[in-house]
Amino acid sequence: MPILNEEQHKIVSDAVGAAELTTSGEIVTVLAERSDGYTDVVLVYAAAIAFTAMSLFALLPAPFMAFWDMLIGGWMHEWTTGELASMTIALGLIAFIVTWLAFLWEPLRFALIPGPVKSSRVHDRAVRHFKVGAEARTQGRTGVLIYLSMREHRAEIVADQPIAEKVPAEVWGEAMADMLAEIRKGCTAEGIAAGVRDVGVVLSEHFPRNGDDANELPDRLIEL
């Protein structure tokens, strides 16, 4: 299901078209529902919880054995070494499966993914999309990618090397701030459009439009 409707897509594409009227730079906008599935992080969580459960059983076996005795009718049971080992493994396996299933619920998964991990994955995905869709694809290598990942609540601005050499990364901070201010209100299209306008202003200062400048990259919002 699309994140934005046709009218909202037009808000973004119109902003890109207007911003590029004053610069030879080319702005590409990408909107993603998420940047990663974080399966590896879920695996680490599940393994850690399983190991913790087995460690607790090894450290304090009595409560677990008493609970099991209650389940089988309350009769005391003499546990053999093999049964204790089997119970430890079974407990770890159950903890692993329950954790894995719990993390299938996306609100829980994304709430427990560490912030730095989210930021790193979003940055990597933005760079990957930039390399495929915008890097060195214009005559003067003046492409800029604005990337927004909804699930992670993060955005990235990635620029071609000639732009990065003239425009420090900190300069994009205002564009990011204006964009996220609108998005926090629930106005995703308007937020991206605000970021586009700010990026356009920066580009026009360093890469003004030439008389024979052509539109080399699409103005439309790419929704993943």
Residues 80 and 54 in one domain: yes
pLDDT number for residue 73 = 57
User: What is the average pLDDT across 86-106?
Assistant: 90
Question: For residue 1, is it within any domain?
Answer: no
Q: Which of 64-73, 125-134, 139-148, 175-184 has the lowest mean pLDDT?
A: 64-73
- Confidence category of residue 39, pLDDT binned at 50, 70, 90: very high
C-alpha to C-alpha distance for 144 and 171, rounded to whole angstroms: 13
Domain final residue, candidates 111, 140, 172: 111
**SS3 state at 91:** helix
Residues 126 and 215 in one domain: yes
pLDDT number for residue 91 = 83
Our count of domains for the chain comes to: 2
Tell me which range, 41-45, 197-201, 206-210, is most confidently predicted by mean pLDDT: 41-45
Residues 126 and 79 in one domain: no
Mean pLDDT across the chain: 84
Q: Which of 18-32, 74-88, 147-161, 199-213 has the lowest mean pLDDT?
A: 74-88
User: What is the average pLDDT across 27-55?
Assistant: 92
User: What is the average pLDDT across 22-48?
Assistant: 91
For residue 193, which of 167, 217, 175 has the smallest C-alpha distance?
Answer: 175
Tell me which range, 38-47, 68-77, 159-168, 213-222, is most confidently predicted by mean pLDDT: 38-47
User: What is the average pLDDT across 37-44?
Assistant: 94
C-alpha to C-alpha distance for 141 and 129, rounded to whole angstroms: 16
Q: Range of 179's domain? A: 6-36+114-223
- Confidence category of residue 214, pLDDT binned at 50, 70, 90: low
- Confidence category of residue 154, pLDDT binned at 50, 70, 90: very high
**Confidence check: pLDDT of 139 > 70:** no
Residues paired with residue 189 on neighbouring β-strands, in sequence order = none
Residues 120 and 219 in one domain: yes
% of the chain with per-residue pLDDT over 90: 42
Residues paired with residue 144 on neighbouring β-strands, in sequence order = 27, 159
Question: For residue 64, is it within any domain?
Answer: yes
Quote the tokens at residue 180: 């996220």
Sheet bearing 26-32, strands edge to edge: 154-159, 143-149, 26-32, 222-223
**Confidence check: pLDDT of 20 > 80:** yes
Residues 150 and 204 in one domain: yes
